[in-house]
């Protein structure tokens, strides 16, 4: 079975309150829709800063969330000289601190900087339809000169989802994958699948 | 069997003549030894430029070669808005053009910009010792959360070699590998192995 890829560049998710502190306004303007229903790239960008290192023009995604989260790649992590953990969205306890800088002010987050865990957006209906029920994670096979297998891809089961594998730019670029490309779903290489509740 | 990894950041190999044009001198100064015998990182850096895009502080490696070659990652390629082919060292016909800028001048190369093909440095003796004779390529297995398989790794058989798998920074970062880490050699996923002559 094939699955569509979405490669995520570094980005931030913000609460309405933190966005107001950074931008002095309370509404996000949509630039374009993302692959997941309701999610969008906004027209707002922040600078993220750690010590004397910073990355400019990091996109704010919408809509607002109830947590503040900055997702970067390992390449970005080396640039910022920081070592963020691999995490699911919203699982931020003990993750790295980071400073956000907007046109109207800056905010120090005591946690929120992560590398995104490889994941597939999928509905409960598709989990059943494709026979994935009971599976916690899978792998994907990429063909061609820059081919290989990306393992430990977890299912993110949500009622509203468009079936897509989300990778970061390091993972995409290592295998020369672009958003919209298709890869082949296979069993995880690690025999650790547990039954989901 | 395990093999040591070397992650290569973007770098250039130059002829003595081109180095002279860029730096106005004829000798490379060694900064530190690299993993392959006789190869070293010099104290010289160039800027590489394509149209209005450029990357600064790209290291010149030594010793001089009889060709000029610039090796970048796919991440770098996006920054430069260029689409270089995946090539072995020295196989530069039809590769991308690039401009090099040094403190003493600049040089336009009509070809030479590549993505390095994944490869293992190995001696003929080690090819025999480990039973690789007749194999053209292999794959490696990486364990752990950021694990998977990197396929299509070609043997670069040289009389003087230290057994090492060379990856670029995208490949290293996608799997959270650093120089000196060890990975597990396995058969290539693609059944295309031909007998080498």
End residue of a domain, out of B91, B116, B141: B116
Determine contact: A155 vs chain B, CB below 8 A.
no
Same domain, B91 and B15: yes
- CB-based burial of residue A23 (10 Å sphere; 0-12 exposed, 13-18 middle, 19+ buried)? buried
Q: Which of A148, A173, A176 sits opposite B149 (nearest CB)?
A: A148
> Which is nearest to B49 in space by CA: B125, B106, B123?
B106
With an 8 Å Cβ cutoff, are B148 and A151 in contact? yes
Q: Where are the beta strands (DSSP E) in chain B?
A: 2-8, 11-13, 30-33, 40-50, 53-62, 69-71, 86-87, 96-102, 105-116, 119-122, 137-142, 148-157, 164-168, 182-187
Our CA-based measurement puts residue B127 at a distance from the nearest CA of chain A, in whole angstroms, of 22
- Return the residue in B10, B145, B148 with the most chain A beta carbons within 10 A, the one to mutate for interface testing: B148
Q: Are B132 and B5 in contact (CB under 8 A)?
A: no
Domain membership flag for residue B21: yes
User: Residue A2: what pLDDT?
Assistant: 97
Question: What is the rounded CA–CA span in Å between residue B7 and residue B3?
Answer: 13
> Which is nearest to B48 in space by CA: B75, B71, B31?
B71
Write the pLDDT tens digit of every residue in A115-127: 999 999 999 999 9
Same domain, A25 and A73: yes
Write the pLDDT tens digit of every residue in B41-88: 999 999 999 999 999 999 999 999 999 999 999 999 999 999 999 999
Same domain, A124 and A105: no
End residue of a domain, out of B116, B131, B155: B116
Same domain, B14 and B111: yes
Same domain, A14 and A44: yes
Domain membership flag for residue B197: no
Cα–Cα–Cα angle for B67, B115, A76, rounded to 5 degrees:
125
End residue of a domain, out of B116, B131, B154: B116
Same domain, B159 and B67: no
User: Residue A197: what pLDDT?
Assistant: 34
- Could you give the 3-state DSSP secondary structure of residue A57? strand
Write the pLDDT tens digit of every residue in B124-176: 999 999 999 999 999 999 999 999 999 999 999 999 999 999 999 999 999 99
Q: Are B161 and B37 in contact (CB under 8 A)?
A: yes
With an 8 Å Cβ cutoff, are B175 and A176 in contact? no
Q: Which of A78, A144, A170 sits opposite B174 (nearest CB)?
A: A170
Strands A105-116 and A96-102: what pairing?
A: antiparallel
Nearest CA in chain B to A186: B148
Same domain, B104 and B19: yes
User: Residue B192: what pLDDT?
Assistant: 58
Determine contact: B181 vs chain A, CB below 8 A.
no
Question: What is the rounded CA–CA span in Å between residue A61 and residue A71?
Answer: 11
Write the pLDDT tens digit of every residue in A11-31: 999 999 999 999 999 999 999
Same domain, A74 and A105: yes
Alpha helix positions (H), B24-177? 74-80, 124-129, 169-174
Determine contact: A91 vs chain B, CB below 8 A.
no
Same domain, B26 and B102: yes
Write the pLDDT tens digit of every residue in A101-114: 999 999 999 999 99
- Return the residue in A148, A176, A186, A189 with the most chain B beta carbons within 10 A, the one to mutate for interface testing: A148
- Could you give the 3-state DSSP secondary structure of residue A127? helix
Domain membership flag for residue B40: yes
Determine contact: B1 vs chain A, CB below 8 A.
no
Q: How far is CA A160 from CA A39, A76, A90, A157, in A?
A: 11, 30, 17, 9
Phi, psi of B170 (to 5 degrees): -65, -45
Position B193 pLDDT exceeds 90: no
Confidence of residue B194 (pLDDT cuts 50, 70, 90): very low
Q: Greatest CA span in chain B, whole angstroms?
A: 50
Q: Are A192 and A139 in contact (CB under 8 A)?
A: no
What letter does residue A19 receive in the DSSP assignment?
Answer: H
Same domain, B129 and B163: yes
Domain membership flag for residue B177: yes
Our count of domains for chain A comes to 2
Same domain, B89 and B178: no
Residues of B in contact with A152 (CB under 8 A): 144-148
Give the structural domain span for B99.
9-116
Position A53 pLDDT exceeds 80: yes
With an 8 Å Cβ cutoff, are B152 and A141 in contact? no
Question: What is the rounded CA–CA span in Å between residue A50 and residue A73?
Answer: 15
Q: Which two tokens stand for residue B37?
A: 């015998």
With an 8 Å Cβ cutoff, are B139 and A151 in contact? no
Same domain, A95 and A174: no
């Amino acid at each position: 079975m094939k699955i569509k890829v979405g490669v995520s560049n570094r980005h931030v998710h913000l609460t309405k309150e933190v966005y107001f502190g950074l931008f002095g306004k309370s509404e996000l303007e949509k630039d374009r829709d993302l692959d997941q229903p309701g999610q969008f790239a906004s027209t707002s960008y922040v600078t993220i800063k750690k010590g004397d290192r910073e990355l400019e023009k990091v996109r704010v995604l919408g809509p607002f969330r109830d947590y503040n989260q900055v997702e970067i790649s390992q390449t970005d992590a080396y640039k910022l000289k920081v070592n963020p953990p691999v995490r699911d969205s919203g699982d931020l306890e003990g993750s790295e601190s980071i400073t956000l800088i907007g046109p109207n002010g800056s905010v120090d987050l005591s946690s929120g900087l992560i590398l995104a865990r490889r994941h597939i957006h999928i509905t409960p209906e598709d989990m059943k339809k494709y026979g994935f029920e009971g599976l916690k994670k899978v792998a994907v096979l990429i063909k061609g000169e820059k081919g290989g297998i990306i393992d430990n891809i977890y299912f993110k089961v949500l009622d509203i989802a468009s079936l897509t594998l989300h990778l970061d730019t390091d993972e995409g670029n290592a295998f020369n994958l672009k958003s919209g490309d298709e890869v082949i779903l296979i069993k995880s290489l690690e025999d650790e699948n547990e039954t989901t509740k």
